[in-house]
Homo-oligomer: A and B are copies of this chain.
Amino acid sequence: MNNSATSIGEYLIERLLAHGVRHIFGVPGDYVLGFFKQLNDSPIAIINTCDEQGAGFAADAYARVSGLGAVCVTYCVGGLKVANTTAQAYAEKSPVIVISGAPGTDERAKNPLLHHKVRDFDTQFKVFEQLTVASTVLDDPETAFLEIDRVFAAALRYRRPVYIELPRDMVRRPGLASHRLPEPESSDPDALGEAVREAVALLNGASQPVILAGEELHRFGLQAMLTRLVEKTNLPVASTILGKSVFSESHPRYIGIYEGAVGREEVRDYVETSDCLLMLGALMTDMNLGIYTANLDPKRSIYVTSEKLSIHHHVYEQVLLADFVGALVAADIRRRTPQNAPHPRVSLDFQVHPGVPVTVRHLFQQLNAFIDDRTIVIAEPGDALFGGADLYIQGKTHFLSPAYYASLGFAVPAGLGAQMADSQLRPLILVGDGAFQMTGLELSTVVRYGLAPIVIVLNNRGYGTERPMADGSFNDVLDWHYSRLPALLRAGLGFAVDTEDELAAALKAARSHTESFCLLDVRLDPEDSSPALKRLTHSLARRVYSTPP
């Protein structure tokens, strides 16, 4: 063995570093121990979560904040625990490199029953083929470097997860060094030109053009470009719920979140009566569309994502999202004087009444006054998200939520990933009690690595989103004494919050306690919820059996 040659494990680490990955989340196991040793000797910090699920969610959040994330686990018993988190990264376009150790190629002869094996040695690979945009088993030193390059390129091209399986006898094997990085994909200049000319003509001819900004602008790092486009043209901007915070909510051209009948009426009116809707990087999901209460007519729309560009009912091929937005910035789009576009009503005024029980509405009023531009709000699906949608986010991309795939258990580990990705940010984690009981103990990992999120448990003793749809004791959640968690973890501050003044006092204490986590157990009336959730569950309830009963 030529020790000066780069080994397959070393090359993988090199590519992670080249793409800005400085932390990797995971849990070790015997099939991946050799690679953990290599990581341990590298500049990448290993962040050990309690469970692989937490590592998967943390890596997803890390990718959303910093552009690429990685999770490293052992074969099957680790890998299959991140099936769901990888599915979420796929659905929501978050580029996570999933690295799994595996039995050595030399151990697989005669198909023995090695521990952690499910059916065949390729079972886990076949599962991840369904959940990723590219996948590989690095079982050949001749092609290993090329394969690593190929799947990294796919992760970055589509902003989706990829799967790399590393048999343990390959970790220290030198790979074939002469390889060529794949050419980045580029737009067809003629198609791009024609598409931009058509779009500009439509925008310039319209009387009420609107931009609808979606999450892909964040994933592809195009927020600054969007701001330039808006400042040049004065076009008003709505965002989808998934795209919340891709455009600064304090910008005078921001009109609010569009989500059909679930969102605010004046935003809906303005967007749906637009004669030229420029949809940039917005996935047309049911949540983005307010459970299909949206009414967006393709005949009046320019629809651009990383996968598709259509104007009205025709499609342009081979035009990249970044190129198209960039060309719009450079194009001759008429600058407008602001019309009667709505603007979010933000009132930071509220009264704190001692002894008065906290309502959901009041909670979000206090939180609105609490957050600043160093806050990253991370909202769990449920009322944490729907109430959180009304928070007034001033920075860029300081609001994270899995608003489409909507897996519970995301928020606490995501806070871990987000703060690792940007230590200047302080996570404000909004999480229901049901979701907290899934992964909330990853606060252990928060303690271990000295992070300091503020965790708001919206404690309504149950699955609040489901109660209005179909209720039963199956929607109940045991009433933990959440504020006792610091005693279990030997760190952190816990607060039991029943009243408005207790909330104010706890938030004040949390602001100044930055050495470890603060957890606020905010005890809400189980019947209480945000207005947005009330509107949403009404739409959802009609679908419990799909067609109205």
Contact = CB atoms under 8 A, between A and B. Distances in A.
A543 B441 CA distance: 33
Given A30-B544, A107-B543, A546-B104, A447 B478 contact: yes
A549 to B, nearest CB: 8
Interface string A78-102: 0011011001101100000000000
Contacts of A407: 76-77, 116
Interface in A115-134: 115-119, 123, 126-127, 130-131
Contacts of A487: 481, 484, 487-488
A487 B489 CA distance: 12
A326 B13 CA distance: 57
A466 interface: yes
A90 to B, nearest CB: 6
B171 A118 contact: no
A205 to B, nearest CB: 30
A220 interface: no
A408 interface: yes
A509 interface: no
A372 interface: no
A545 B169 contact: yes
A482 B335 CA distance: 63
Interface stretch (A47-55, A261-269, A412-420): A47-55
Nearest to A537: B30
B34 A544 contact: yes
A445 B408 CA distance: 18
Contacts of A351: none
A490 B521 CA distance: 15
Contacts of A37: 470, 472, 544
Interface stretch (A226-234, A282-290, A421-429): A282-290
A365 interface: no
A440 to B, nearest CB: 8
A51 B409 CA distance: 8
A36 interface: yes
A387 interface: no
A113 B28 CA distance: 35
A360 to B, nearest CB: 20
Interface in A347-382: none
Interface in A224-255: none
27 contacts: A29-B466, A33-B470, A34-B545, A37-B544, A40-B474, A76-B405, A77-B84, A77-B408, A80-B87, A81-B83, A87-B123, A104-B545, A112-B284, A113-B284, A113-B286, A114-B286, A116-B406, A118-B130, A123-B131, A127-B127, A169-B546, A172-B545, A437-B444, A480-B488, A481-B488, A482-B488, A485-B488
Given A113-B285, A127-B127, A447-B478, 9 more contacts: A30-B540, A50-B438, A76-B84, A76-B405, A77-B408, A114-B285, A116-B407, A167-B546, A168-B543
Interface of A: 28-30, 33-34, 36-37, 39-40, 46, 48, 50-51, 53, 76-77, 80-81, 83-84, 87-88, 90-91, 103-107, 112-119, 123, 126-127, 130-131, 167-169, 171-172, 283-288, 292, 404-409, 437-439, 441, 444-445, 447-448, 463, 465-466, 469-470, 472-482, 484-485, 487-490, 540, 543-547
